[in-house]
Amino acid sequence: MNRREAIYNFVILSAGAAVLPSCAGEETATIALKNFSLTGAQETMIRRLSDFILPKTKFQGSGDIKATEFTLMMVDECYPPERQKVFTDGMEEFEKLSKEKFGGSFVSSSDAQKKDMLTFIEAKKDVPENAAKFYETTKRHTVQAMTSSQKYLTDVVGYKMVPGSNFKGCVPVAKS
């Protein structure tokens, strides 16, 4: 074997070793968390759940306000480890419940099946406790992300950055 063939084989082998982990099938999450980890499938499931809770209409939806990122950041940075574990366990139970009810993951379910699933969880009958807590946490933080967004506060609530900004200095004060 000459030197060129050896270098060529080394480059091909190195490239294959670099690409091989991405072919494993388990996608990684795009959101980096400090205290717990997610797979790409779990992140997609939370994203679809947020999109179903707060769909895009004439007004902004959960994707526009990054509700998934907000939810995961809140759980990662503000919850103690015990509640983070309840959240991750509930995520797994939620997906398991979806597979039991519809024979597939929540992501691959139809909109009617997703609605049935959330109605079932909202009824709180025979629902695993952690799955219900996962859903409630995701719903609460999705709504919180919406109600604290700039567009909601300015267009719906009528929030003004400086209170009393309607001050007119040239108008005399009437005596009472």
pLDDT of residue 12: 73
- Structural domain includes residue 165: no
- By residue count, the chain amounts to 176
Measured CA to CA, the distance from residue 35 to residue 104 in angstroms comes to: 29
* Enclosing domain of residue 92: 28-154
- Structural domain includes residue 65: yes
Number of separate domains in the chain: 1
- Structural domain includes residue 145: yes
Q: Inform me whether the pLDDT recorded for 14 exceeds 90.
A: no
Q: Which residues contact 76 (CB under 8 A, 6 or more apart)?
A: 33, 34, 35, 36, 84
- Structural domain includes residue 100: yes
- Per residue in 23-82, pLDDT (tens digit) is 555 567 677 788 888 888 889 999 999 999 988 888 888 888 899 999 999 999 999 999
- Per residue in 133-169, pLDDT (tens digit) is 999 999 999 999 999 988 888 888 887 777 666 767 7
- Structural domain includes residue 108: yes
Q: Inform me whether the pLDDT recorded for 112 exceeds 80.
A: yes
- Structural domain includes residue 18: no
Q: For the residues of 115-145, what is the DSSP string, one character each?
A: HHHHHHHHHTSS--HHHHHHHHHHHHHHHHH
- Structural domain includes residue 162: no
Q: What angle do CA 59, 33, 26 make, to 5 degrees?
A: 90
pLDDT of residue 27: 66
- Structural domain includes residue 82: yes
Phi, psi torsion values for 66, nearest 5 degrees:
60, 50
Q: Inform me whether the pLDDT recorded for 103 exceeds 90.
A: no
Ramachandran region, residue 83 (left: φ > 0; alpha: ψ -120 to 50; beta: rest):
alpha
